[in-house]
Amino acid sequence: MISTVSDFDEEIAWERTVLALSISLMPLSASGADLDLRTNNISISLSDSLGAGAVEEFRNSLLPLLFGSSWKILDLSLELALAMAGITPNRTRWLISEKSQHALNHSGTLPGFAQNDLWHAYGSLYVGTQLIRHALVHRRVHVDSQTRELTGFDGHGNALQSMTYDEQMAFCRFAQRTAQVIVEGLMRPRVESDLRSQIAVLHPHHGVSVQGPAVSRPPIRLIDNFPMNRQLDVPRLMNQAHTTFPGVTFVDILLHLPDGRTLVGELDSAPNHSVTIDIENLPGWLRFS
């Protein structure tokens, strides 16, 4: 049984590797869209891969198995959560049906997670997808060759609620982010936003209303000189980011100091007012690169 974060990390290492190679997560730092405020120059880099189409086709053919790997991560996450709360199985090993009861009661605790709507959705998602997992492992599933929709069948041959392609992708990304939070031991704001975005897609399979905006765009970056008066007008900078890149949520900042050093940070995590920057005592959202 899983009882420590180290156990969990070791047990899911292969699944995390396969998922990372197959289904990329949204970058949480800027990697291609910049606005240089010193020159008002906008730079957007586009990357391409000659094998991108082949990789996508291969991934789609394996998507049911990737769903299975992701479900294992959620299963062992719950087992860890129960262990950390001092909850033990009735027998020597956990049964999925037994864990499901605890999941419905939102039992357990995980590093970085709080007892909130996200945790409630997690438990309901575990319960809401277990029959699909059982069909994949023990019975049979059908994958639509055009839409990639996944349909499982119960023990009587009746079709279960299907999972769309987007829902399967969201499930895999949710599992990856969940593992990341557990292993790192903290829930960073951008990670939580992405988790909430993925769980929102999966609403048909958990039914919990989850708060938080949908985030679909990687961060953009603002570049500027460090202000001589040390005053950073956060609302003005965020407004410039939103004007230049409509719909953006995450905004990185890169500030050049006169001595050649640079500061980098997550502007969306800064207070929503003008702040004074003391380079000898930087706020948590800003650091030297």
- Greater confidence (229 vs 37) lies with 229
| Domain stops at, among 178, 205, 232 | 205
Q: 111-153 pLDDT, tens per residue?
A: 888 778 889 999 999 999 999 988 888 888 888 888 888 888 8
First to last CA, the chain: 41
**Does residue 19 sit in the same domain as residue 161?**
yes
**Does residue 133 sit in the same domain as residue 240?**
no
Q: 6-53 pLDDT, tens per residue?
A: 999 999 999 998 888 888 777 777 777 887 787 878 777 655 444 455
Q: 238-288 pLDDT, tens per residue?
A: 999 889 888 888 899 999 999 999 999 999 889 999 999 998 899 989 999
Q: 199-225 pLDDT, tens per residue?
A: 999 999 998 888 876 676 788 899 999
Mean confidence (pLDDT) of the chain: 86
φ, ψ of residue 153 to 5 degrees: the values are -130, 140
| Domain stops at, among 205, 236, 269 | 205
**Entry pTM:** 0.82
Are the beta carbons of 272 and 260 closer than 8 angstroms?
A: no
**Does residue 192 sit in the same domain as residue 252?**
no
- Greater confidence (7 vs 154) lies with 7
Q: Is residue 211 part of a domain?
A: no
| Three-class DSSP labels, 216-260 | CCCCEEEEEECCCCCEEEHHHHHHHHHHHCCCCCCEEEEEECCCC
Are the beta carbons of 249 and 193 closer than 8 angstroms?
A: yes
Bridge partners, residue 51, by sequence: none
Measured distance CA(191)–CA(176) in Å, rounded: 11
| Domain stops at, among 205, 231, 251 | 205
**Does residue 57 sit in the same domain as residue 177?**
yes
**Does residue 255 sit in the same domain as residue 163?**
no
- Non-local (6+) Cβ contacts of 278 within 8 A are 230
Q: Is residue 35 part of a domain?
A: no
Residue 254's domain comprises 220-288
pLDDT at 48: 45
**What residue type is 222 in one-letter code?**
L
pLDDT at 189: 85
Q: Is residue 44 part of a domain?
A: no
**Number of domains observed in the structure of the chain:** 2
What is the DSSP pairing of strand 33-36 with strand 220-225?
parallel
φ, ψ of residue 212 to 5 degrees: the values are 125, 145
pLDDT bracket for residue 236 (50, 70, 90): very high
**Does residue 72 sit in the same domain as residue 163?**
yes
Angle between helices 165-184 and 13-22 (to 10 degrees): 130
Q: Is residue 276 part of a domain?
A: yes
What letter does residue 24 receive in the DSSP assignment? P
pLDDT at 150: 86
Q: Is residue 215 part of a domain?
A: no
Q: Is residue 182 part of a domain?
A: yes
**Does residue 193 sit in the same domain as residue 224?**
no
pLDDT at 161: 87
CB atoms within 10 A of CB 121: 25
**Does residue 112 sit in the same domain as residue 153?**
yes
Q: Is residue 166 part of a domain?
A: yes
Q: 176-197 pLDDT, tens per residue?
A: 999 999 999 888 888 888 999 8
**Does residue 76 sit in the same domain as residue 158?**
yes
Q: Is residue 39 part of a domain?
A: no
**Does residue 76 sit in the same domain as residue 197?**
yes
**Does residue 155 sit in the same domain as residue 181?**
yes
φ, ψ of residue 64 to 5 degrees: the values are -60, -40
**Does residue 141 sit in the same domain as residue 280?**
no
- Greater confidence (5 vs 152) lies with 5
